[in-house]
Amino acid sequence: MTNKVFCLERDGNVLIVVPQGDASGFRYHDVHQESNTTLEVLDDPSLTHVVVDFTDEQMLGSIIISVVIKVCRKAGGKGGKAAFCNASADMLDVLQTMNLTKLWTHYSSRSEAIAAVRTD
């Protein structure tokens, strides 16, 4: 699913969320609508885990990060796992400062993150 704000991909039972930029670069309506759509995609019972791939972005603000947190929590709430991957040094610093890497581990590649969420 290609959207303006969040590109969504699927790898088996893993939803891959790729933020496409900070909220300031999009209309509020698009951010709000795609945030809801991203969360609704996780209603699919065959999707258990989430990987957030920060490949395309150097830095994201609080609005996009709050959506990332909601998506990761939703996966956890349905018994799945979440992980981050490919964050820039600056983005990783933000995730660590917010203590998010204590909740969800950051991996250097998408394949590592996918493998990690699938392990028990």
pLDDT tens column, 1-29: 557 889 999 999 999 999 998 888 888 88
CATH no. for residue 83? 3.30.750.24
Asked if residue 113 belongs to a domain, the reply is yes
Asked if residue 1 belongs to a domain, the reply is no
Stretch (H or E) spanning 102:
helix 100-103
Asked if residue 63 belongs to a domain, the reply is yes
d(CA 49, CA 40): 14
Asked if residue 60 belongs to a domain, the reply is yes
Q: Quote the domain boundaries for residue 51.
A: 6-118
Q: Identify the DSSP state of 54.
A: -
d(CA 88, CA 23): 18
Q: Tokens 């790898």 — which residue?
A: 11
Asked if residue 82 belongs to a domain, the reply is yes
Asked if residue 39 belongs to a domain, the reply is yes
Strands 6-11, 106-107: pairing is unpaired
Q: Which of 15, 14, 24, 20 shows the shortest CA–CA distance to 2?
A: 20
**Tens digit of pLDDT for each residue in 39-65?**
999 999 999 999 999 996 778 888 899
Beta bridge partners of 19: 6
Average pLDDT over residues 84-105: 95
